[in-house]
Amino acid sequence: MFDWASPYPSVRLPVFGRNVVATSHPLAVQAGLRMLLRGGNAVDAAVAAAATMTIVEPCSNGLGSDAFCILWDGEQLHGLNASGHAPAAWTPEYFTRRYGVAPTLPTRGWDSVTVPGAVGAWAALSARFGKLPFADLLEPAIEVAERGYAVPVVVAQKWRAAEPILRDKPGFAETFLPNGRAPTIGERFAMPAAARTLRAIAESRGESFYRGEVAAAMVAHAAANGGSMTAADLANYRPEWVDPIGIDYAGHRMHQIPPNGQGIATLIALGIVRHFDLASLPVDSVDAYHLQIEAMKLAFADAYRHVCDARSAHVTSDQLLDEAYLASRARLIDPRRAQVFESGTPLRGGTIYLSAVDENGMMVSFIQSNYMGFGSGVVVPDWGVSLQNRGHGFSLDPTSPNVVAPGKRPFHTIIPAFLTKDGQPQMSFGVMGANMQPQGQLQTVVRMLDHRQHPQAACDAPRWRFNQDLEINVEATMDPKLVQGLAERGHRIDVIDDSYQDFGAGQFIWRLGDPARDGYVAASDPRRDGQAGAF
Note the Cα 58 to chain centre separation in Å: 14
Which amino acid appears at position 280 of this protein?
Answer: S
Phi and psi, residue 476, nearest 5°: -65, -20
- 3-class secondary structure, 19: coil
Residues 155 and 69: beta-carbon distance below 8 Å: no
* Among 213, 256, 466, 484, CA closest to 344: 466
% helix, strand, coil for the chain, step of 5: 40, 20, 40
34 DSSP 8-state letter? H
DSSP secondary structure letter of residue 311? G
**What is the chain's Cα-based Rg?**
22
> Whole-angstrom Cα distance, residue 332 to residue 367?
33
Among candidate residues 442, 460, 452, 427, the one with its CA nearest the CA of residue 527: 460
Q: Would you call 197 a catalytic residue per the annotation?
A: no
What distance in Å separates the CA atoms of residue 201 and residue 213, rounded to the nearest whole number?
Answer: 10
Q: Which amino acid is at 512?
A: L
Q: Which run of H or E residues covers position 162?
A: helix 153-166
Which of 54, 114, 351, 413 is the catalytic position?
351
Partners of 350 in beta bridges: 371
Residues in Cβ contact with 417 at an 8 Å cutoff, skipping those fewer than 6 apart: 70, 254, 255, 256, 263, 266, 365, 428, 429, 430, 431, 441
For residue 249, the cross-strand partners are 252
Helix runs in 2-62, H state only: 26-37, 42-56
* Residues classed as catalytic: 351
